[in-house]
Amino acid sequence: MPIIVNLDVMMARRKMSLNELSEKVNLTLANLSILKTGKAKAIRFSTLEAICKALNCQPGDILEFTEEE
């Protein structure tokens, strides 16, 4: 998939656990885990906004586009 999710990188930079982020963005651990592992097919803008607020970052810090080979 040409979209790479760098959620784990941003969480590590902010020293935030999945449990803590889950509580802050009001999302289940299972759904956050799917997003973190890159298995998600879509993300709502409201979810992305909540994650960016919790991690104090921009959407581009979490999502990255790469060309498929």
In terms of Cα–Cα distance, which of 10, 5, 49 is closest to 26? Answer: 49
Q: Enumerate the domain spans of the chain.
A: 3-65
Question: What mean pLDDT comes out for the span 52-68?
Answer: 94
In contact, 61 and 14? CB cutoff 8 Å: no
Question: Across the chain, what does the average pLDDT equal?
Answer: 94
Summarised one tens digit per residue, pLDDT across range 4-34 is 999 999 999 999 999 999 999 999 999 999 9
* Cβ-proximal residues to 69 (8 Å cutoff; 6+ apart), any chain: none
pTM here?
Answer: 0.89
Q: Is the pLDDT of residue 1 over 90?
A: no
pLDDT of res. 24: 95
Q: Is the CA virtual torsion 50, 53, 55, 61 positive or negative?
A: positive
Report the CATH architecture of 3-65: Orthogonal Bundle (1.10)
